Amino acid sequence: MSGQVAIGEAPDAGTIEAIARDAMARLPSAFRAHLGDVVLIVEEFADDETLAALGIEHPLDLTGLYHGRPMGEKSSMDSGGLPDRIHLYRRAILDEWVEGGERLDDLVTHVMIHEIGHHFGLSDDDMHALEEAMDESADDSAA
């Protein structure tokens, strides 16, 4: 699995991206069909402007962010704007991974589902249900 890393070696941005793309590939097809234009960006930290806009003081407190308008708010008249983007912040993810003891692939998947949920305008409950459905699907395919 792409979430496995050698002991003592911090996963790089490419590893985080591979895990995130794997999570996207495991989404139900109804969701995957509407993610084609969403850009995935893995950065070390959120920039100061982003942190200030969100009222977050420390960059390790933000693991991911969705930039864009939820699907239900889009119009066919929208044009000329930047594509929707999901930012994953590597150092914040690694900090949470080390502190929490969760598997890296599970944590990155959790962050991705949360940001994808914003793209679709899902509630927190809907995001949790989607994540559980993905877990069950992975369990079924592993059996």
Q: Which phi and psi angles does 123 have, rounded to 5°? A: -80, 165
For residues 71-76, give the mean pLDDT.
Answer: 58
Q: pLDDT tens digits for 14-50? A: 999 999 999 999 888 888 888 878 899 999 999 999 9
**pLDDT at 21 (0 to 100):** 93
Domain ranges within the chain, ordered by starting residue: 13-69+81-142
129 is written with which tokens? 């249900």
- Give the CATH number of domain 13-69+81-142; options: 1.20.120.530, 3.30.2010.20, 1.10.8.50, 1.20.1250.20: 3.30.2010.20
For the segment 119-136, the average pLDDT, to the nearest whole number, is 79
pTM: 0.80
Are the beta carbons of 108 and 19 closer than 8 angstroms?
A: yes
Beta bridge partners of 82: none
- E strands, 54-101, in order: 64-67, 85-89
Looking at the chain, the whole-number percentage of residues with pLDDT higher than 70 is 80
Q: Which pLDDT band holds residue 96 (cuts at 50, 70, 90)?
A: very high
